[in-house]
Amino acid sequence: MNQTTPRDPSRPLSPEERAKVQRARDKAFILYEGMQVPHRSCGIALAETFNLPARPYQCLRRGGITGEGECGAIKAGELVLGEYLGDPDPTGMVTPELREAVQCYRAEWIRRIDRGFCGAQQPPEAAPDIICNHLTAPFGDFHSPARQKFCTNIAAQVAEIVAEILVRWGIEFEVTPIPGTGGKN
Distance CA 125, CA 70 (A): 19
Which H or E run includes 78? helix 72-85
Contacts of 69 by beta carbon, 8 Å cutoff, 6+ apart: 60, 63, 75, 131, 132
What pLDDT does 140 receive?
Answer: 86
Nearest CA-CA partner of 56 in 85, 39, 78: 78
Share of the chain above pLDDT 90, in %: 64
Q: What is the DSSP letter of 137?
A: G
What pLDDT does 119 receive?
Answer: 44
User: Is pLDDT above 60 for 126?
Assistant: no
With beta carbons less than 8 A apart as the criterion, state whether 42 and 72 touch: yes
Q: φ and ψ at 42, to 5 degrees? A: -60, -50
Identify which has the larger pLDDT, 54 or 3: 54
What confidence tens digit (pLDDT) does each residue in 48-95 have?
A: 999 999 999 999 998 888 888 899 999 999 999 999 999 999 899 999
Identify which has the larger pLDDT, 5 or 27: 27
Nearest CA-CA partner of 159 in 77, 84, 104, 71: 77
Rounded to a whole number of angstroms, the CA Rg of the chain reads 16
Nearest CA-CA partner of 46 in 64, 29, 21, 34: 29
